[in-house]
Amino acid sequence: MKLLVSPASPYSAKCRMAARHLALGVEEVRVDTNAEPPELIDNNPLGKIPVLLRDGQKPVYDSVAIMQFFNRQSGGKLYPAEAQARTDAEVLEALADGITDCLLAIIYERRFRPEDKVEQSWIDKQWSKVTRGLDYLEANLPVVGDTLHGGHFALAALIGYLDLRFAGKWADGRPKLAAWPDQFSKLFPEFATVKPAA
pLDDT, tens digit, 9 for 90 and up, residues 60-103: 999 999 999 999 999 999 999 999 999 999 999 999 999 999 99
pLDDT band at 112 (very low <50, low <70, confident <90, very high): confident
Contacts of 46 (CB under 8 A, 6+ apart): 61
27-40: average pLDDT: 97
Q: What is the pTM (predicted TM-score) of this model?
A: 0.96
Contacts of 126 (CB under 8 A, 6+ apart): 102, 103, 105, 106, 109
> What's the pLDDT score for residue 128?
98
pLDDT, tens digit, 9 for 90 and up, residues 164-178: 999 999 999 999 999
14-24: average pLDDT: 98
Half-sphere exposure of 27 (CA within 13 A, CB side): 7
Buried-exposed string 149-167: b where 16+ CB fall within 10 A, e elsewhere: bbbbbbbbbbbbbbbbbee
108-127: average pLDDT: 93
pLDDT band at 144 (very low <50, low <70, confident <90, very high): very high
Residue 169, phi then psi, degrees to nearest 5: -120, 0
d(Cα 72, Cα 63) in Å, to the nearest integer?
14
